[in-house]
């Protein structure tokens, strides 16, 4: 059953999903995309205030009141509650959110906790996920915690450490002989035979990522930062942060939205390309211009939610930029001198923040948070090759 009323009409009603055509879908219906083939988004939620935080909970489930539904069974491994650290640079201080403190070593655990809790509520026992690494290992871990069977499809050349993590959690892992984009297309084809629990498609994933906004807000003494800088492949960090800070704004808990800045590797920057051209979405026909990048977590030539990501960046007054491979390596080296061992994809966002400080786009006196998405331990071979370790 669908309904064509727009999301703005229903703030006082029960939360629902909607696709790009405006059709509405109930949360109780297990689906990963709309009837029109477009990605699903959640209707606007009111947000929560400090007194609604469950201070007895030492995970991001302390913000469960901000979720669109309650779960009889919360699938959690203690995700969230990651530190917000201060990193000094010659251009000014940056605050970094060290997301490798999550259970499987990346921010993906936030979204996967809510996604797998949702699948469990729907009675789903087996699913398919496609990933370049972190999403797959996270899906495998939470599937194990929930007693589900996970099937992970990864592009050829995906980090062996990330694949091993998924295998050890009991998932079935298959390498697909194609790019990250081609692997996603293959997974969509297989969705006819198995439930497709893609973290890039399923709207519940974004509900977990958005809780990082609440955590940053609480970390800063219930104040929003001026800017947040994130690496972007499919853009779930952009959308999650946009959703969370948008809810806090509606709840009257912050005075304005932070500017969100997304960074992509210059070798694979379809969102930046579209942003610079003022386009509403990514030009899929230009996919063949992209090449491999050390920031494999951001190597997505055809992001599913391109329109939504671009709109979110523009609405908050943020920006996007493409970062060269050598600048990513330089950022990695700088972080290592501060004792921070992030993967190349995490350093991508840090490199972008340094660029924005250098050009004055971000002021030194502003509070800027950079999301370091995952651990360098997840890409140990690549790190050794890049940095000349012996």
Mean pLDDT by 10 residues, the chain (390 residues): 43 86 96 97 97 98 98 97 97 97 97 98 97 89 98 87 89 92 91 95 98 98 98 97 98 98 97 97 86 89 95 98 97 96 95 98 97 89 70
Predicted pLDDT at 12: 53
How would you write the chain as a 3-class SS string?
CCECCCHHHCCCCCCCEECCCCCEECCCCCCCCCCCCCCCEECCCCCCCHHHCCCCCCCHHHHHHHCCCCCCCCCCCCCCCCCEEEEEECCEEEEEEEHHHCCCCECHHHHHHHHHHHHHHCCCCEEEEECCCHHHHHHHHHHHHHCCEEEEEEECCCCHHHHHHHHHCCCEEEEECCCHHHHHHHHHHHCCCCCECCCCCCHHHHHHHCHHHHHHHHHCCCCCCCEEEEECCCCHHHHHHHHHHHHHHHCCCCCCCCEEEEEEECCCCHHHHHHHHCCCCCCHHHHHHCCCCCCHHHCCCCCCCHHHHHHHHHHCCCEEEEECHHHHHHHHHHHHHCCCCECHHHHHHHHHHHHHHHHCCCCCCCCEEEEECEEHHHHHHHHHHHHCCC
pTM of the model: 0.93
Place of tokens 């051209």: 277
**145 Rama class: left (phi>0) / alpha (psi -120 to 50) / beta:** alpha
Q: Give the Cα separation of 318 and 258 in Å (integer).
A: 8
pLDDT by residue (tens digit) across 221-251? 999 999 999 999 999 999 999 999 999 999 9
Predicted pLDDT at 387: 77
Predicted pLDDT at 122: 97
Predicted pLDDT at 9: 45
């Amino acid at each position: 059953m669908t309904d064509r009323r727009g999301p703005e009409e229903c703030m006082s009603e029960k939360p629902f999903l909607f696709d790009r055509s405006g059709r509405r879908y109930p949360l109780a219906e297990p689906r990963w995309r709309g009837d029109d083939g477009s990605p699903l988004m959640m209707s606007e939620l009111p947000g929560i205030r400090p007194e609604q935080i469950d201070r007895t909970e030492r995970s991001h489930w302390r913000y469960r009141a901000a979720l669109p539904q309650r779960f009889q069974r919360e699938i959690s491994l203690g995700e969230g509650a990651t530190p917000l650290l201060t990193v000094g640079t010659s251009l000014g201080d940056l605050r970094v959110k060290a997301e490798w403190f999550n259970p499987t070593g990346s921010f993906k655990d936030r979204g996967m906790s809510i996604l797998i809790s949702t699948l469990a509520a729907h009675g789903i026992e087996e699913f398919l996920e496609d990933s370049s690494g972190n999403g797959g290992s996270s899906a495998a871990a939470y599937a194990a915690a929930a007693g589900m069977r996970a099937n992970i499809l990864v592009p050829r050349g995906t980090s062996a450490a990330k694949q091993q993590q998924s295998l050890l959690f009991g998932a079935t892992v298959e390498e697909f002989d194609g790019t990250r984009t081609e692997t996603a297309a293959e997974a969509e084809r297989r969705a006819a035979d198995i439930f497709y629990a893609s973290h890039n498609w399923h709207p519940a994933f974004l509900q977990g990522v958005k809780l990082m906004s609440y955590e940053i807000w609480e970390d800063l003494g219930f104040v929003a930062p001026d800017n947040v800088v994130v690496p972007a492949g499919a853009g779930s960090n952009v959308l999650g942060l946009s959703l969370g800070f948008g809810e806090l704004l509606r709840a009257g808990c912050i005075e304005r939205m932070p500017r969100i800045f997304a960074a992509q590797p210059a070798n694979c920057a379809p969102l930046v390309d579209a942003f610079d051209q003022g386009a509403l979405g990514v030009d899929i026909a230009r996919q063949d211009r992209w090449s491999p990048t050390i920031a494999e977590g951001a190597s997505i030539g055809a992001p599913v939610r391109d329109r939504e990501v671009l709109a979110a960046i523009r609405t908050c007054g943020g920006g996007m930029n493409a970062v060269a491979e050598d600048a990513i390596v330089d950022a990695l080296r700088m972080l290592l001198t501060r004792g921070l061992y992030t993967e190349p994809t995490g350093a991508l966002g840090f490199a972008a923040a340094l660029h924005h400080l250098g050009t004055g786009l971000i002021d030194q006196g502003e509070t800027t948070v950079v999301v370091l998405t995952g651990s360098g331990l997840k890409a140990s071979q690549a790190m050794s090759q890049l940095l000349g370790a012996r």
